[in-house]
Amino acid sequence: MQTNFRTKTNTLFLMALAAVIAAGFLSFRETTHLVQAQNWVSHTREVLQTSTSMLTHISKAISARRGFLFGRPQDEDHVSKAIDATLADLADLKNLTADNSIQRDRLQTLEPLIHTRIAMLRQSIELHHAAGSTNDSDAQEVISKQGLELNDQIVEQVGAFRDTESQILRQRLADAAATARRAYDVEIALALSCFVLLIAALALINREISRRERSERATQDAERLMRSILDSSADAILVCDSQGRIILQNAVMAQYHVPSSMPPERWPEAFGVFQRDKQTLVPVRELSLIRAAFHGESVDNMEVYMRPPGCETGRWHLASSRPLLDNAGSPRGGVVFLRDINERKTLEEDRDRLIVRGQLLRAQDEERARIARELHDGVAQSLTMLMIHLHGLKKPDMAAYELRSKIEETEQMCSGVAEEVRSLSHRLHSSKLEYLGFANAAQNLCNELMAQGGFNIELTIENIPSRLPPEVSLGLFRVLQEALQNAIKHAGEGNINVDLRRIDGHLRLRVRDSGVGFNPDERSKAAGLGLVSMRERLSLLGGSFSLQSAPGQGTTVEARVPFTAPQAFEAIAS
> Tens digits of per-residue pLDDT, 274-310?
887 777 888 888 888 788 878 888 888 888 888 877 7
Contact at 8 Å (CB) between 91 and 52? no
561 CB-side CA count, 13 A = 30
| Domain of residue 551, residue span | 430-574
280: DSSP letter: S
The verdict on residue 516 lying in a domain is yes
Q: What is the mean pLDDT of residues 330-353?
A: 83
Return the minimum-mean-pLDDT range out of 99-108, 241-250, 448-457: 448-457
Q: Kindly report the three-state secondary structure assignment for every residue of 425-441.
A: HHHHCCHHHHHHCHHHH
445 CB-side CA count, 13 A = 27
| pLDDT score for 18 | 77
Which domain CATH number covers 304? 3.30.450.20
Cα 235 from Cα 224, distance rounded (Å): 18
The verdict on residue 498 lying in a domain is yes
Cα 310 from Cα 533, distance rounded (Å): 34
The verdict on residue 215 lying in a domain is no
Which of these, 64, 83, 86, lies nearest to 75 by C-alpha position? 64
| Element of type H or E holding 488 | helix 470-491
Cα 178 from Cα 550, distance rounded (Å): 97
Q: What is the mean pLDDT of residues 407-436?
A: 69
What pTM does this model have? 0.39
Are 146 and 240 in a shared domain? no
State yes or no: pLDDT of 527 exceeds 60.
no
Are 484 and 397 in a shared domain? no
Average pLDDT, the chain: 78
Residue 318's pLDDT band, with cuts at 50, 70 and 90, is: confident
Are 467 and 566 in a shared domain? yes
State yes or no: pLDDT of 240 exceeds 50.
yes
CA geometry: angle 431, 433, 435, nearest 5 deg: 70
The verdict on residue 326 lying in a domain is yes
Domain closes at, from 400, 428, 456: 428
| pLDDT score for 569 | 37
**Phi, psi values for residue 21, rounded to 5°:** -65, -45
The verdict on residue 225 lying in a domain is no
Domain closes at, from 386, 402, 428: 428
Which pLDDT tens digit goes with each residue over 492-514?
Answer: 667 888 999 888 778 889 998 88
Are 169 and 297 in a shared domain? no
Are 69 and 83 in a shared domain? yes
State yes or no: pLDDT of 255 exceeds 80.
no
Cα 238 from Cα 219, distance rounded (Å): 20
Contact at 8 Å (CB) between 507 and 542? no
State yes or no: pLDDT of 316 exceeds 50.
yes
Which domain CATH number covers 81? 1.20.120.1730
Which domain CATH number covers 470? 3.30.565.10
Contact at 8 Å (CB) between 256 and 308? yes
List CB contacts of 460: < 8 A, sequence separation 6 or more: 497, 498, 499, 500, 501
Cα 501 from Cα 460, distance rounded (Å): 8
Q: Kindly report the three-state secondary structure assignment for every residue of 302-368.
A: EEEEECCCCCCCCEEEEEEEEEEECCCCCEEEEEEEEEECHHHHHHHHHHHHHHHHHHHHHHHHHHH
**Alpha helices per DSSP H over 233-297:** 251-254, 267-271, 288-295
Q: What is the mean pLDDT of residues 148-152?
A: 83
| Element of type H or E holding 187 | helix 137-232
State yes or no: pLDDT of 5 exceeds 70.
no
The verdict on residue 222 lying in a domain is no
Are 469 and 564 in a shared domain? yes
Are 25 and 107 in a shared domain? yes
Are 409 and 463 in a shared domain? no
| pLDDT score for 498 | 92
341 CB-side CA count, 13 A = 17
The verdict on residue 224 lying in a domain is no
Are 420 and 434 in a shared domain? no
The verdict on residue 229 lying in a domain is no
Contact at 8 Å (CB) between 162 and 34? no
What percentage of the chain exceeds 70 in pLDDT?
A: 83
Are 43 and 77 in a shared domain? yes
3-state secondary structure of 255: coil
Which pLDDT tens digit goes with each residue over 551-562?
Answer: 878 888 998 888
Give how many domains the chain has, as a whole number: 4
Cα 460 from Cα 500, distance rounded (Å): 6
Domain closes at, from 411, 428, 445: 428
Are 194 and 76 in a shared domain? yes
Are 88 and 42 in a shared domain? yes
